[in-house]
Structure 1
Amino acid sequence: MSVNLLLFLCLWASSFLVTRSEDPYLFFDWNVTFGTIAPTGIPQQGILINGQFPGPNINSTSNNNVVINVFNNLDEPFLLTWTGVQHRKNSWQDGTLGTGCPIPPGKNYTYHFQVKDQIGSYVYYPTTAMHKAAGGFGGLRINSRLLIPVPYPDPADDYTILIGDWFSKGHTTLKKMLDGGRNLGRCDGVHINGRNAKGDGKDEPLFTMEPGKTYKYRICNIGIKTSLNFRFQGHNMKLVEMEGSHTVQNIYDSLDVHVAQCFAVLVTADQEPKDYYVVASTRFTRRVVTATGIIRYTNGKGPASPDLPPAPVGWAWSLNQFRTFRWNLTASAARPNPQGSYHYGGINITRTIKLANTAAKVNGKLRYAINGVSHVDPPTPLKLAEYYNVADKVFKYDIITDTPPASIQEIQLAPNVMNLTFRTFIEVIFENRETAIQSYHLSGYSFFAVAIETGTWSLEKRKNYNLLDAVSRHTIQVFPNSWAAILLTFDNAGMWNIRSEIWDRHYLGQQLYASVLSPERSLRDEYNLPDNTMLCGGIIENMPKPPPYSI
């Protein structure tokens, strides 16, 4: 065989492999069951995934296809969401009651989504009932492909730390309390990765570190309502990423982690070899509740000191910390997709939406609302009703206006859905008129968190926006009697949940959905209804499937 022919065959074979190749797949089988857990030392019923609490950590790489077959072995419907994963063109996989049916007891459902260039730290958790208060949650990381460098050396290891508040009453009792119109009150404890060190010298370490090496810790607040401060005893943290964006690498001795937020930090084992505590304690609560865990040096000699590093005081400290977070403009990733625009500060705002939270009683029972409407999930999921062209039988669009009333005296119970024009650049203002801190999440998107300030928002406040290097993220806190502003392009077609991550508020109606429809109804903008989609609610179950979208 001639050299030229051999070269041709090699080139042909390589091109064939390239054109036929597909992004890698990750397959998981998850069995969801009840089991006994004791995060704060009190045994109670919890939700396990494959017998684990917290659940398995998903370790993926950008562009991976993730396929998770979830078997619901509980005695009630169950549903998972993947917070921060954008599900481009694919709100079917978002895992909320507005986009799909929950998995019935004894049945299974297979999630299939692709993680794009969202290199960072995320979590998954249940969205049905008060299941999040019982477990069923875990970490989800998206690593960088080899061709996309990260702006720091590879760490010696990569650890996930899930912190959260905990209620010892159990999720069924908590649900009954809320259904009966009562408030949950304060948490009973705090956990770190599902446990709390006893401090008796017999605690097993959460993780180990080798002297002189640097480790990456992904810290996520997986709780249901309480902001937490997290810190390492005797060690500083270098912040490198938050919610899918590389940050300017500032040094912190502690971080306020609000509900559903994630931070990635680098910690160097440069202290005396022994045990050290990591500490998580409640913020903005009258009684401070603390949990600890052990980090052990591999050649360590001696227990951790009982003198814990102190927590900060006051929410002004937390607001000032927010202002130190900056997007790393020199990093090649993680960054939003081009549709989100790297030059967001130069785009004309086409619409301003102000969303105000409210607490009130309806028929003597506590409800929470946004702009006077307390969301109720209809039996037929909103997205399915829209896809089957029967939305008018299930909900009404735009029952709230872009500007909330100055004073909200009454609350309406209804599905809360806003129409948003595809690919428009929108400003959203979250107004907190109450004395409790809020935390909001927008599914399907990352947004630019350009400002948090006290008082009342006005057009003049735009001059205080960070229009250069605000971090692109998916969750933002709003302090008492304050407001927060975000900017984003609604370029991801689908039905997307804007929700309070304070879970009792979410359960009692403080959420809405953004309907973003592509006028072309094309596969270039949105995927078709998956073949394995469950149908529920009665209206659509016997209807013929609508014609699929085409390119």
Structure 2
Amino acid sequence: MGSCSRLIFAAFSLWLAVVATAEDPYLFFEWNVTYGTISPLGTPQQGILINGDFPGPEINCTSNNNIVVNIFNNLDEPFLLTWAGIQNRKNSWQDGTPGTMCPIPPGQNYTYKFQVKDQIGSYIYFPTTSLHRASGGMGMLKVHSRELIPVPFDKPTADVAILLGDWYNKDHKTLKRILDSGRSIGKPDGIQINGNSGRIGDPGEPLISMVPNKTYRLRVCNVGMRLSVNFRVQGHTMKLVEMEGSHTVQNTYDSMDIHVGQCMSVLVTANREPKDYYFVASTRFFKQTLTSVAAIRYSTGKGFASPDLPPPPPENNNAVPWSISQFRSFRWNLTASAARPNPQGSYHYGKINITRTIKLANSRQVIDRKLRYAINGVSHMDPETPLKLAEYYGMADRVFQYDLVKDEPPQDVKVVVAPSVKNGTFRNFVEIIFENQENTVQTWHLDGYSFFAVAIEEGKWGPEKRSNYNLEDAVSRHTVQVYPNSWAAVMLTLDNAGMWNLRSDMRERAYLGQQLYLSIVSPEHSLRDEYNLPPTQVLCGIVKGKPNLALYT
């Protein structure tokens, strides 16, 4: 890192520290992004490290904290991080997607600044450029409740981050070349758990050491590329307490499905015979079951974990019904406090009239002998100029066309490859239907928002299906899974002005077009609704060299 960059960051930090005397607390981080050798499945390969680590550093913060992360890109490629699930109210400039920001060039740095606002829970950060996510560069962001806001469970003895998911032994550059050549990257090679893949009898270092009769919080996130995972703890039950920023009704489970991009917190109590046990992760909805284990060790224990692993959920014809049943058991805890003192259930979403229904269907198609994925017949591609910057400078018509994606899937199966931006009306209450006619599980994520996942069912959606919606206590979250030949419905208010990425959380599918951007513009163009372009923002494409305009007052 250059001395000039350090001085600039120090001055910036000092300025923010002075400003912060009248604001919520600031937390400062300095991260170096580099290549390094990692072996998640036992095979050495080039990985992406943050401060020398994979997974990267945890961010531990409290609701309303201001987060300042100075990132030095020491890779040989442009790089961006997104903060998945952090709503960045009025501030899509810091969202970390190619549609909103210019990537950090090699050898340069960029300082993210955002506020976690009224959020608690478990979130992840990861790269959105290229296929960098396949090589690492990811970690967990924990947002804790302020002391004055009660949490609906006793403070656990320890709070453990677990990042798991499918993994490829090929590095991101190799996988990118495969996709750019028109082929699929195929099936993963295994499952990693916090950067390791344990085997029965040789699980490596313990994931956690537990004191008998104490309770531990496990925050589990699926950071894989494409596969759903089921996790379970040998000999123990798990109590679900939080999911993607919402406290849940505290049901107990023997095993839990977690889909790509999702996070959840479970409590596990050390109330069994003191010895070793296995934390088990195995793939779901996949022809070949991939399994990895990690040791959970009692501090006073003697004895190895049993090789008899707890069984996974049913597959084949019973897989979808079992998983839908588990989804329906997830309920918002209406008596728990939110990040503010008011209860979570004080927002009665089921009593708001729907002003617009958007039905989105994913598809897969070969175009000019190359594989592409699409939404309603449009396969997104990132232009040289970030979409949000083009819109802000009044140059959108030179970069993209609004509303190529219609509110209904077209009858014509022909796919168009183009930048995809869909208009949304500020503060409208909308219903989004995700319809999946393929034979694989899909996971969808919307930046900048949490939505109410009100229903998932097999078959096709129709208006009559609204009678099956959960309009009382659906969990407020930012991802939703859609099972093969099924649909999912979510509801939300478009009250966060900016441009926000709606994408498949399967990285191959997003890279090849299964994503779009929602443009939510406040008609008042006021700082009350959206921030101006930050003075330090990097400009590129056709807006490079433009003056930094403060359009909102």
Q: Does 1:497 align with 2:498?
A: no
Deviation at 1:194, TM superposition (A): 0.5
Quick one: which amino acid aligns to residue 354 of structure 2? Answer: I
Q: Is the 8 A contact 1:426 1:489 kept in 2?
A: yes
> What does the per-residue CA deviation read over 1:341-374, in whole Å, with 9 as the maximum and x for residues that have no partner?
7110000000000000011111110000000000
Deviation at 1:203, TM superposition (A): 2.4
CA distance in 1, matches of 2:546, 2:197: 51
User: Equivalent residue of 1:173, what SS?
Assistant: helix
CA distance in 1, matches of 2:60, 2:550: 36
Over 3 Å counting, the alpha-carbon distance change for 1:428 and 1:340 in structure 2 is: farther
Deviation at 1:199, TM superposition (A): 3.8
Superposed, which structure 2 residues align to 1:68-217 within 5 Å? 68-200=69-201, 203-217=204-218
> What does the per-residue CA deviation read over 1:295-332, in whole Å, with 9 as the maximum and x for residues that have no partner?
11111111111111111122221111001000000001
Runs of 4 or more, structure 1, over 3 Å off, are 198-202, 334-341
CA distance in 2, matches of 1:163, 1:202: 15
Q: Does 1:431 align with 2:435?
A: yes
Which of 351, 365, 372 in structure 2 is aligned with 1:367?
372
Over 3 Å counting, the alpha-carbon distance change for 1:500 and 1:188 in structure 2 is: same
Unaligned runs of 5+ in 1: 1-16
CA distance in 2, matches of 1:544, 1:99: 17
Quick one: which amino acid aligns to residue 244 of structure 2? Answer: E
> What does the per-residue CA deviation read over 1:176-197, in whole Å, with 9 as the maximum and x for residues that have no partner?
1111111122110001101022
Over 3 Å counting, the alpha-carbon distance change for 1:132 and 1:184 in structure 2 is: same
Number of the residue aligned with 2:359: 354
Deviation at 1:142, TM superposition (A): 0.2
Q: Scaled by the length of structure 2, what TM-score is found? A: 0.94
Q: Does 1:43 align with 2:47?
A: no
Deviation at 1:334, TM superposition (A): 4.8
User: Equivalent residue of 1:506, what SS?
Assistant: helix
Q: Is the 8 A contact 1:123 1:220 kept in 2?
A: yes
Number of the residue aligned with 2:400: 395
Over 3 Å counting, the alpha-carbon distance change for 1:161 and 1:321 in structure 2 is: same
Number of the residue aligned with 1:461: 465
CA distance in 2, matches of 1:401, 1:286: 34
Q: Does 1:386 align with 2:391?
A: yes
User: Equivalent residue of 1:323, what SS?
Assistant: helix
Deviation at 1:338, TM superposition (A): 11
Q: Is the 8 A contact 1:85 1:122 kept in 2?
A: yes
Over 3 Å counting, the alpha-carbon distance change for 1:70 and 1:326 in structure 2 is: same
Superposed, which structure 2 residues align to 1:150-299 within 5 Å? 150-200=151-201, 203-299=204-300
CA distance in 2, matches of 1:216, 1:454: 33
Cα RMSD (Å): 1.8
Q: Is the 8 A contact 2:240 2:250 kept in 1?
A: yes
CA distance in 1, matches of 2:308, 2:320: 24
CA distance in 2, matches of 1:325, 1:340: 14
Q: Is the 8 A contact 1:440 1:499 kept in 2?
A: yes
CA distance in 1, matches of 2:203, 2:413: 55
Over 3 Å counting, the alpha-carbon distance change for 1:289 and 1:72 in structure 2 is: same
Identity %: 66
Quick one: which amino acid aligns to residue 189 of structure 1? Answer: G
Number of the residue aligned with 1:544: 547
CA distance in 2, matches of 1:545, 1:33: 31
Q: Is the 8 A contact 1:241 1:265 kept in 2?
A: yes
Which of 501, 516, 528 in structure 2 is aligned with 1:524?
528
CA distance in 2, matches of 1:82, 1:546: 26
Quick one: which amino acid aligns to residue 453 of structure 2? Answer: A
Over 3 Å counting, the alpha-carbon distance change for 1:337 and 1:351 in structure 2 is: farther
Deviation at 1:206, TM superposition (A): 1.4
Quick one: which amino acid aligns to residue 332 of structure 2? Answer: W
Number of the residue aligned with 1:376: 381
Deviation at 1:474, TM superposition (A): 0.1
> What does the per-residue CA deviation read over 1:101-132, in whole Å, with 9 as the maximum and x for residues that have no partner?
11110000000000112110010000011100
Q: Is the 8 A contact 2:335 2:343 kept in 1?
A: no
Over 3 Å counting, the alpha-carbon distance change for 1:290 and 1:109 in structure 2 is: same
Q: Scaled by the length of structure 1, what TM-score is found? A: 0.94
Instruction: Report the structure number with the largest CA radius of gyration.
Output: 1
Deviation at 1:294, TM superposition (A): 0.7
Quick one: which amino acid aligns to residue 498 of structure 1? Answer: L
CA distance in 2, matches of 1:45, 1:440: 29
User: Equivalent residue of 1:322, what SS?
Assistant: helix
Unaligned runs of 5+ in 2: 1-17
Quick one: which amino acid aligns to residue 83 of structure 2? Answer: W
